[in-house]
Amino acid sequence: MLVNLPEKLYYNIGEVANAFNVKPSLLRFWENEFDEIKPKKKESGTRKYTPEDIQLIQLIFHLVKEKGMTLDGAKKQLKQKKGTAAQQGILIRLEKIKYELKQILDQI
């Protein structure tokens, strides 16, 4: 899934939920299930997600929602992929570029 979010330093939970077409409660649930998801929290408790958090959520979304893995399976996959996080980031950026190029091509 290609996530279409503007480039910012931080995203609130509503923006992230809308980008993935899920409810904010799912993101909070995943935050409890996956130790890797650690959004910054204001004193008021408001979550602020970084672009790195978005990449991680995108990977979890892919594993759980698109590939149909269980949460335990996704956790194991994440542990294996820790060494390839940079590669995953590159793949996500390439998917975004591919999407943008297709949009340009459709306009021609």
Of the two residues 61 and 2, the one the predictor is more confident about is 61
Report the pLDDT value the prediction gives residue 82, as an integer from 0 to 100: 64
Percent of the chain with pLDDT over 90: 47
Report the pLDDT value the prediction gives residue 83, as an integer from 0 to 100: 56
The hierarchical CATH code for the domain 11-107 is: 1.10.1660.10
Please report the sign of the dihedral spanned by the C-alpha atoms of residue 87, residue 8, residue 59, residue 40: positive
For the chain, give every domain's residue range: 11-107
N- to C-terminal Cα separation, the chain: 24
69 CB neighbour count, 10 Å cutoff: 16
Question: Among candidates 37, 100, 20, which has minimal Cα distance to 74?
Answer: 37
- Tens digits of per-residue pLDDT, 5-53? 878 899 999 999 999 999 999 999 999 999 889 999 888 889 999 998 9
